[in-house]
Amino acid sequence: MAYWVLKVILTPIFFVLWRVKVEGRENIPKHGAAVLAANHQSFCDSFFLPLVVTRKVTYLAKAEYFDSWKTAWFFRAAGQIPIRRGGGSASERALETARTEVLGKGKILGLYPEGTRGVDEYVHKGRTGVTRLSRECSVPVIPVGLVGTVDVQPVNSNILRPFKTVTIRFGKPMQMDPPKNPDDPMEGHDHTECRSFTDQLMHEIARLSERDYVDEYVPARAKAPTG
């Protein structure tokens, strides 16, 4: 309920402060599980994308966001699921949560295949977890291109600049072939095939977002000097 209340409050505000254009919304299935896979250069990406989708979009968020009451209320209201990093494979825990808590219940999962926010103008090489979800859960992946969100909230800025234009483009659904053995979806797993599918997905995201693609993972951010 909190998700929809928050959406009702924020949607008119966002549409007054920014010119939001939406293309290809008909590519989002009206029923059943699906993954929305987008480029990610600004924190506000996670605000604009859910606002233009009529169904609830669930993200997997860093558990640190839930540790402080100042931010926890918002992330819970936004329907995000905390993922605790450290102590085992964080990526495997995230995938399992996505399978059981979101896709397994016929919901929509939002994620960023690059794994983290980029600080340059490119779309980078994607992680293959999105491909595994498509195969293991037999769900479509809808590529999404976000344009203009960096103008709204530049890298390393906490301020949203009003009166900018944001375009959100939804591409045609893409889907991995279903597993031969539903009881063991990863039987005969071919990483090369998953890598190829992910690369195709990232090229489509780059096209939709009007950005060039580079076949490299997002570079690690430099740590601030100490002392």
Confidence (pLDDT) at 91? 67
Residue 227 lies in a domain: no
Phi and psi, residue 58, nearest 5°:
-105, 130
Confidence (pLDDT) at 87? 47
Residue 46's domain is classified under what CATH number? Answer: 3.40.1130.10
Phi and psi, residue 23, nearest 5°:
-130, 135
Encode pLDDT of 77-132 as tens digits.
777 887 765 545 666 777 888 899 899 999 999 999 998 889 899 999 999 989 88
In which region does residue 156 sit, left (phi positive, over 0), alpha (psi from -120 to 50) or beta (all else)?
left
Confidence (pLDDT) at 85? 57
Report the largest interatomic distance among the alpha carbons of the chain, rounded to a whole angstrom. Answer: 57
- Cβ of 113: how many Cβ atoms within 10 Å? 24
Residue 222 lies in a domain: no
Q: What number is the average pLDDT over the span 126-146?
A: 93
Q: What number is the average pLDDT over the span 152-157?
A: 92
Encode pLDDT of 52-62 as tens digits.
999 999 988 77
Residue 172 lies in a domain: yes
Residue 224 lies in a domain: no
- Euclidean distance between CA atoms 200 and 141, whole angstroms: 12
Helices (H), the chain: 2-17, 45-51, 69-77, 90-97, 129-137, 149-152, 191-208
Residue 136 lies in a domain: yes
Residue 220 lies in a domain: no
Average pLDDT along the chain: 88
Interstrand relation of 141-147 and 165-170 (parallel, antiparallel or unpaired): antiparallel
- Would you call 207 helix, strand, or coil by DSSP? helix
Confidence (pLDDT) at 170? 98
Residue 127 lies in a domain: yes
Confidence (pLDDT) at 97? 84
Domain that holds residue 54: 2-214
Number of domains in the chain: 1
Encode pLDDT of 163-217 as tens digits.
999 999 999 999 988 777 777 776 776 789 899 999 999 999 999 999 999 999 9
Confidence (pLDDT) at 175? 93
Non-local CB neighbours of 133 within 8 Å, separated by 6+ positions: 35, 95, 98, 99, 103, 109, 139, 141
Residue type, 169: R
Confidence (pLDDT) at 221? 62
Q: How confident is the model at residue 219 (pLDDT cuts 50, 70, 90)?
A: confident
